[in-house]
Amino acid sequence: MRGVADCGVFVVTMMLFLPVSGPGILVLTTLTSKGGVRAELGAAAGVIAGKPLLIERLRASPSGSVNLNWFAGICWMGLGVKLALFRRNEQDLMGKIFCVANQKGGVGKTTTTVNLAAGLAQVGQRVLMVDLDPQGNATMGSGVDKRQLKLSLYDVLLESATISAARVQSEKLIEAGCSYDILGANRELAGAEVELVDVERREKRLKQALVAVDKEYDFVLIDCPPSLSMLTLNGLCSANGVIVPMQCEYFALEGLTDLVNTIKQVHANLNPDLQLIGLLRVMFDSRITLQQQVSEQLKDHFGDKVFDAVIPRNVRLAEAPSYGLPGVVFDPSAKGSQAFVEFAREMVARVGKL
Ligand SMILES: Nc1ncnc2c1ncn2[C@@H]1O[C@H](COP(=O)(O)OP(=O)(O)OP(=O)(O)O)[C@@H](O)[C@H]1O
Ligand SMILES: [Mg+2]
């Protein structure tokens, strides 16, 4: 919608300011948008450079002088529309599909995914949560019984169902007024890896399926399994960015190097959109000196790629899944829940700036 609105603004601007030359257009269009500034600079430069040539050509034709203004104006309008559409594409590409990944097990990926999903829903974002782990923890932790799923991510990857048909919602989350869509998973999903082994472009299956629905959401969050398997690769190929939850421990830093290299490889070979969005410090205990030291090292090394939000170790977050609820919904007043809502706000702000 924003792209269409931009397009409208641009056309009106063009109509009002037909006689204004290139620099005028540059200023006006730059004022109407932040995201497309680069495109507009390029296009305005094109207008400025191209106009004298156009005028020269028209002057050469007998009726050229009569039509000159109209013709130049129409060209500018066409350029404006094209530019606005280009800007819309640029916005569509702007990150909104995020993998929560770390090949290390038990670091808080699922806790991060479900609480971020609930936190984003709480601040008014439309969210799809994709459970890419055959353990189905994110499905259960969102209040959906993985054993009762009629359709799941498995069917989507095998192309026997669309995401629209397979996604579900959780009654508990609807009751709590903090709902998001869930593309669930269960043990069946482990079979997909084997069944797709001979299929070409199998790592792009999720990406292809998401194309049909991603415009319905502000955020798509993918909970990855603790491995760099074909399933995780499907997540990385679909995403614009990776969120890495990590505990501030020595071995966590070692594992991070592998993950960053994997992201670089996927970026170079399979998905040029993919970037590391940020590192999220989870299960943090500020009383432990080693954790503080590792946290400082992370900031020194990764700078603003380290999220400001820090998720403390908090027993309410650990209790919540047994009630089929994200901590944010289970106990909104808990320190861990508040930290996740803070994180959700930070994500909204970061995506706006991407
Ligand atoms: N901030 C926290 N405070 C206390 N406990 C937490 C916190 N975050 C996660 N946990 C607990 O740690 C355990 C592992 O968390 P979680 O399941 O989110 O990790 P994971 O990375 O998804 O694991 P896996 O690699 O198996 O998918 C769970 O029991 C969870 O409840
Ligand atoms: Mg998990």
Give, for all 354 residues of the chain, the pLDDT tens digit.
444 444 555 555 555 554 445 545 555 554 444 444 445 555 555 556 656 666 666 666 555 555 566 666 566 666 666 565 555 444 443 459 999 999 999 999 999 999 999 999 999 999 999 999 999 999 999 999 999 999 999 999 999 999 999 999 999 999 999 999 999 999 999 999 899 988 888 999 999 999 999 999 999 999 999 988 999 999 999 999 999 999 999 888 888 888 999 999 999 999 999 999 999 999 999 899 999 999 999 999 999 999 999 999 999 999 999 999 999 999 999 999 999 999 999 999 988 755
Q: How far is CA 60 from CA 64, 169, 177, in A?
A: 7, 66, 68
Classified as helix, coil or strand, 160 is: coil
d(CA 137, CA 114) in angstroms, rounded, equals 9
Q: Identify the CATH number of the domain in which residue 167 sits.
A: 3.40.50.300
Task: Please identify which residue in the block is written with the tokens 């056309």.
Answer: 11
C-alpha to C-alpha distance for 343 and 334, rounded to whole angstroms:
14
137 and 37 fall within a common domain = no
Token digits of residue 164: 């629209």
The pLDDT value recorded for residue 333 is 98
Q: Are residues 183 and 52 in the same domain?
A: no
Q: Which of 92, 110, 138 is the last residue of a domain?
A: 92
- Alpha carbons 96 and 108: distance in angstroms, whole number: 21
Is 172 found in the same domain as 55?
A: no
Model confidence, pTM: 0.78
How many structural domains comprise the chain? 2
Name which of 54, 55, 43 is nearest 28 in CA terms. Answer: 43
Single residue among 29, 62, 92 that ends a domain in this structure: 92
Domain enclosing residue 145, as ranges: 95-353
Q: Is there a single domain that holds both residue 269 and residue 330?
A: yes
Do 266 and 159 sit in the same domain of this protein?
A: yes
Residues 71 and 193 in one domain: no
Do 18 and 154 belong together in one domain?
no
Residue 232: predicted pLDDT? 95
Indicate if 125 and 160 belong to the same structural domain. Answer: yes
The atom number, within ligand 1, closest to the CA of 102 reads 21
The atom number, within ligand 1, closest to the CA of 321 reads: 31
Q: Domain boundary residue among 92, 110, 139?
A: 92
| Ligand 1, CB cutoff 6 Å, lining residues | 105-111, 133, 135, 137, 226, 282-283, 311, 313-314, 317-318, 321, 336
CA of 184 to the centre of ligand 2 (A): 13
Q: Do 6 and 147 fall into the same domain?
A: no
